[in-house]
Amino acid sequence: MMICERDDFSLTGPLHLTAIDWANEHHRRSVAASLVQGIYVAERDRQLQREGPDLALSPIWSEFFHFRLIRKLVDDADISIFGGIYEYKPPQQLSQTVKSVELSPRFVIAFRGTVTKADSISRDIELDFHVIRNGLHTTTRFEIAIQAVRNIIASVGGGSNVWLAGHSLGASMALLIGKTTARTGVLPECFAFNPPFLSAPIERIKDKRIKHGIRIAGSVITAGLALAKKATQQYSQNNRALPAIPDPFASLSDWFPRLYVNPGDHLCSEYIGYFEHRNKMEEIGIGFVERVATQHSLGGILLGGQDPVHLMPSSVLTVNLSSSRDFKQAHGIHQWWKEDHKFDTKVYQYK
């Protein structure tokens, strides 16, 4: 049987991480990305009938770091494995500092992105369209996932040692679940690799003045439409004595999902400009416009419905500054555990 190199941990995994320091950002990012890769490989194991200790390639992606896959999350439409619940079971003799132990997760719920194989591609693309149409929350895959996360959080009495992780489509799933639980006061650690940002690719424009001008114009239009819509809703509510509309970002401002983006990946690179633009709007004295605009997308205003998954109040944004040879590499999961890559991390908080 032909083995794909990307599935083989011994060829492409982070073999250098023989001891994990949970206080080290590179270690945490690498482990989270590897667990997501483990879900990709578990689904390819299923499709290629690689079963048992001699053939299955997925277990080593978690067991190398002392995680055990205790449950596979299976889609009810195509029976594909789209996620999994990992439990951290380090050996007792493992030498770790007290701080490192406190920062380690007890459970990690990981979600893969789209798998371009016959057995899963039609369902995955259907889910991709739900992300584009801002309807991921209406899918049975989301219901299966959120229930699994809620059960884990309930079993440990909170979300402090529960991690969410996902790549691409799976990053959207992790962020949506994280937002949903954060609104209830539970703030799980979230690692979103190459999360889709549904917008025109303004970040690809080279001229900074043109780029900034387009963003300002977009913010003014978006904020104007959002305020007009809110005024209409409040007028209607006043006539019907309904409660005022809450600020959807206020309840999420203390949640800091970790977003990992690559400038060469047009599906996620817009996050770079999304957060930088907020700071620039504050600097030129019109931050109040951006505080309204940043909560809305034009599509969301015009089409209505749920808050867009990709819009975030706060975040820890990590950008891979190393060049990628093509889109496939820029969008891939493997980049996030590479030792020789240069990463830049900034913290953004909504106020």
Distance of CA 288 to CAs 55, 307, 310, Å?
57, 20, 20
| Residue 233 included in any domain | no
In a domain, 239, yes or no: no
> Quick one: pLDDT band at residue 173, thresholds 50, 70, 90?
very high
- CA 203 to centroid of chain Cα atoms: 19
pLDDT at 282: 64
Per-residue pLDDT tens over the stretch 26-40: 999 999 999 999 999
Sign of the Cα torsion 269, 301, 233, 305 reads negative
- Please give the model's pTM, rounded to 2 decimal places: 0.83
CA gyration radius, the chain:
21
Question: Which residues, at least 6 apart from 33, have a Cβ–Cβ distance to it below 8 Å?
Answer: 165, 167, 191, 193, 260, 333, 334, 336, 337
3-class DSSP state of 46 = helix
Whole-number pLDDT of residue 229: 47
> Phi/psi at 82 (nearest 5 deg)?
-110, -10
Is 244 domain-assigned? Answer: no
Q: Give the Cα separation of 102 and 282 in Å (integer).
A: 37
Q: Please, which residues bridge with residue 346 across strands?
A: 317
- Domain of 207 in residue numbering reads as 5-216+249-348
Does the pLDDT value for residue 223 go beyond 80? no
SS3 content of the chain, % helix, strand, coil (to 5): 45, 15, 40
Q: Which distant-in-sequence residues (6+ apart) come within 8 Å of 40 by Cβ?
A: 7, 112, 113, 115, 167, 333
Q: Which residues contact 347 (CB under 8 A, 6 or more apart)?
A: 256, 314, 315, 316, 317
Q: For 81-98, write each residue's pLDDT tens digit.
A: 999 999 999 987 765 655
How is residue 112 written in tokens? 């893969």
Nearest Cα to Cα of residue 289 among 215, 339, 229:
215
Classified as helix, coil or strand, 7 is helix
- At 325 the three-state DSSP class reads coil
Give the pLDDT confidence score for residue 277 in this predicted structure: 67
Lowest-pLDDT choice from 246-250, 275-279, 325-329 = 246-250
Does residue 243 lie within any of the structural domains? no
DSSP β-ladder status, 81-88 and 162-167: unpaired
Q: Is residue 31 part of a domain?
A: yes
Domain contains 341: yes
The single residue listed with the structure tokens 């596979």 is: 72
Q: Does 39 map to a domain?
A: yes
Q: Can you give the pLDDT at residue 116? A: 85
Strands 189-193 and 81-88 come out as unpaired
User: Tens of pLDDT along 298-349?
Assistant: 444 444 556 778 888 899 999 999 999 999 999 999 999 998 899 999 999 8
For the chain, the average pLDDT equals: 83
**Using CA atoms, how far apart are residues 149 and 146, in angstroms rounded to an integer?**
5
pLDDT of 207 > 80? The answer is: no
Number of domains, the chain:
1
Give a yes or no: residue 179 inside a domain: yes
